[in-house]
Amino acid sequence: MSGEPQVGIVLVSHSGPVADSVAELARGLAAGGVTAPVAAAGGLPNGGLGTSAELIGRAAASVDRGVGVAVLVDLGSAVLTVKAMLAEGDELPPDTQLVDAPFVEGAVAAVVTASAGGDLAAVEAAASEAYGYRKT
């Protein structure tokens, strides 16, 4: 890693523990150097199940290094929440992108690629390619 800013990754789940665990897994599998900034935005502020624009916005701000933020989500209303935030235009850092990818495999691919210095387009491509990972 050259010391250049890395793409930030936000993992949005309806469950705080799920988001935290996937972030931990992705960081662990990307280890071996400087790991890209990753933040979990899971559940509601009171700890319940759901999605929170407030938590997503804080997570995105915490990982923004000025070169883009990739947001991966688990289920339907998380997609809708992030799309609404992007449409609003001022709730997320500039160059924030919702990435269409499987949550766990996509998160690992995104963090590994961002940690290796990939730009936002490369991070999105790697995460999206995780749809092709076969298990049989």
User: What is residue 124's three-state secondary structure?
Assistant: helix
What would the pLDDT profile of 36-76 be if each residue is shown by its tens digit?
999 999 999 999 999 999 999 999 999 999 999 999 999 98
The total of other beta-carbon atoms located within 10 Å of residue 132's CB is 8
pLDDT of the residue at 30:
86
Buried b (16+ CB within 10 A) or exposed e, 112-130: bbbbbbbbbeebbbbbbeb
**Backbone dihedral angles phi then psi of residue 94, each to the nearest 5 degrees:** -55, 155
* Cα Rg of the chain, angstroms: 14
**What phi, psi does 51 have (nearest 5°)?**
-125, 145
User: Is the pLDDT score of 1 beyond 50?
Assistant: no
How far is Cα 32 from Cα 75, in angstroms, rounded to an integer?
Answer: 31
Residue-wise pLDDT for 75-113, tens only, equals 989 999 999 999 998 999 999 999 999 999 999 999 999
pLDDT of residue 2: 53
Give bridge partners of residue 69 from the DSSP assignment.
Answer: 8, 96
